[in-house]
């Protein structure tokens, strides 16, 4: 199989109808915060225990097509001594890997940030590929205010995302391109739409410049919502605003848009995705790539106790099933019960 054929096969598996991607790529500081919220100290063994439990959930592959792993997890074994990528593959789930090295302030652009990690990326991808990873994810963030993001931040972050994506495809790894427009702040849904469209247009201009094959990538964007300090919009309002922006800014060649949850509650993220799919067919598959919005109930149920494993698995499977329903617009709030 050629690299092109491998890329196409991986994309096809990731955007299957009724399925989405589980983002389990939390860095050590992030997962420490999540564990702290349920009274658990974040140690390597506790991270291994928790992730092994959720990846072993029976039936997870019915609703989850891929899992984004943190570098530590890619090299670990499960509680029953299987390599994590092999454990996932047995469920029909594609293993992936987060490859960026985090963000830092962008010089001469106060309030803006840039993501780093391009140095040595090609060599790292070869290692990850040999460990079983078939796709990768890179996240850049865009702050919103009356003046942010600056034009230089939009252009610089788009360039980084495109360079990352081109490197991934050159070694047979499907890139997930994640331009996250942050929910932090008191901006209106209209301001979010304005920024989101500007960011997406610049990202795709950069992808074109770097000759990234749009058919062999996946976009992981934010939904268009008001800032978290403003009153929430209804699912229908979020759907209308989001689809309006994406139909103007995202080429139809992109096979799948897997939204991040970005600070929404599990229920909000599911309802908003459902409202978009209820609008009818779009040029792309509209799916999910949620982290906390899928895992939060499972973490609460587990609470660091291995005996709570079945309850944690049941909580994760429920959220995966509900988001699977949202993939075709058949979710209803009464299903939460």
E-strand ranges in the chain read 20-24, 64-69, 94-98, 103-105, 113-115, 135-142, 174-181, 218-219, 256-259, 285-290
Can 178 be counted among the known catalytic residues? yes
- 46, 35 contact by CB (below 8 A): yes
The CA distance from 164 to 176, in Å, is: 10
Q: Which of 304, 302, 280, 300 is nearest to 292 (CA)?
A: 300
Can 220 be counted among the known catalytic residues? yes
Pick the catalytic residue from 26, 113, 159, 178: 178
The CA distance from 64 to 14, in Å, is: 9
Q: Residue for token digits 């780093």? A: 116
The CA distance from 312 to 308, in Å, is: 6
The pair of structure tokens assigned to 161 is 């995302």
The CA distance from 161 to 14, in Å, is: 20
The CA distance from 77 to 322, in Å, is: 29
Pick the catalytic residue from 19, 98, 137, 220: 220
The pair of structure tokens assigned to 337 is 């019960």
Q: Which helix (H) or strand (E) holds 320?
A: helix 309-326
Query: Looking at residue 77, what DSSP letter applies?
Result: B
Catalytic residues: 178, 220
């Amino acid at each position: 199989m050629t690299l092109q054929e491998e890329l196409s096969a991986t994309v096809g598996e990731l955007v299957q109808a009724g399925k989405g991607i589980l983002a389990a790529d939390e860095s050590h500081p992030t997962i420490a915060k999540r564990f702290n919220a349920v009274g658990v100290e974040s140690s390597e063994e506790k991270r291994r225990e928790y992730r092994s439990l959720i990846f072993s959930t029976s039936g997870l592959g019915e609703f989850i097509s891929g899992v984004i792993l943190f570098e530590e997890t890619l090299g670990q074994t499960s509680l029953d001594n299987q390599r994590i990528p092999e454990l996932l593959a047995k469920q029909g789930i594609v293993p992936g890997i987060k490859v960026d090295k985090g963000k830092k302030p962008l010089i001469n652009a106060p309030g803006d940030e840039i993501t780093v990690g391009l140095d040595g990326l090609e060599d790292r991808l070869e290692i990850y590929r040999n460990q079983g990873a078939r796709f990768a994810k890179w996240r850049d963030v865009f702050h919103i205010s009356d003046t942010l993001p600056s034009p230089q931040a939009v252009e610089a972050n788009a360039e980084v995302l495109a360079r990352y994506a081109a490197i991934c495809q050159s070694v047979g790894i499907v890139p997930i391109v994640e331009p996250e427009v942050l929910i932090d702040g008191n901006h209106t849904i209209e301001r979010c739409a304005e920024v989101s469209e500007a960011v997406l247009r610049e990202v795709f201009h950069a992808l074109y410049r770097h000759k990234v094959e749009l058919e062999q990538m996946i976009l992981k964007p934010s939904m268009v919502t008001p800032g978290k300090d403003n009153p929430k919009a209804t699912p229908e309002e979020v759907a209308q605003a989001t689809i309006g922006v994406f139909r103007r800014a995202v080429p139809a060649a992109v096979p799948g848009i897997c939204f991040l949850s970005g600070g929404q509650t599990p229920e909000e993220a599911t309802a908003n995705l459902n409202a978009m799919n209820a609008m009818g067919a779009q040029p792309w598959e509209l799916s999910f790539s949620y982290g906390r919005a899928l895992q939060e109930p499972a973490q609460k149920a587990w609470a660091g106790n291995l005996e709570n494993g079945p309850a944690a698995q049941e909580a994760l499977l429920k959220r995966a099933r509900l988001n699977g329903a949202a993939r075709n617009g058949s979710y209803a709030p009464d299903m939460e019960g």
